[in-house]
Amino acid sequence: MGYGIKLTQEQWDELDRIRFSAGSADVFRNCLIILMSHSKDTVASIADRLGCSTDTVKRVRRLYRRGGAAALRPRKSPGRPPRATPAFLEEMRRVVQVNPRALGYGFSTWSAARLAAHLAKVTGLRFSDDQMRRLLHREGFSVHRPKHTLKGKRDEGAYRKARKQLNRLKKTP
């Protein structure tokens, strides 16, 4: 394996195009490593000038020799793949817009906990309440904790009568 890399004018232009259109600092650095290798800089001097390790320089050179300019772009995004699959998100978007009573539940408002429990039953994927709120927010849904009241479920006449009696009792010494 030689120290430098010989580039044609087309290869140089391609690397320049990739370098200046790269949305990633890693791709920009990888292109610079190859361009600097063409000018016969040593591995140590390239690593020193770019602030990376000599192993990185060697790895990028090896990638370029095997796969050309396309190999300088990362293959996949780093990190753990998301657990919420596209099918799960689609089901979540569908279900959140349906009244829970239509699905046989005894309540009329979805909470994050209820939605998570329903989706776990349907899809087999269980998420915490907080994660469910984040997923809903990411999908563009407004998430509010429901205010639980008895309005509409109580005898309003009896409620007003009891409230007046309570106010009368509070005002008397």
Distance CA 32, CA 6 (A): 14
CA–CA–CA angle 106, 112, 114 (5° rounding): 30
pLDDT higher than 50, residue 144: yes
Q: What's the average model confidence in pLDDT over 15-29? A: 86
For residue 172, the model assigns a pLDDT of 66
pLDDT higher than 70, residue 2: no
pLDDT higher than 70, residue 90: yes
What pTM, to 2 d.p., does this model score? Answer: 0.47
Q: What's the average model confidence in pLDDT over 62-89? A: 85
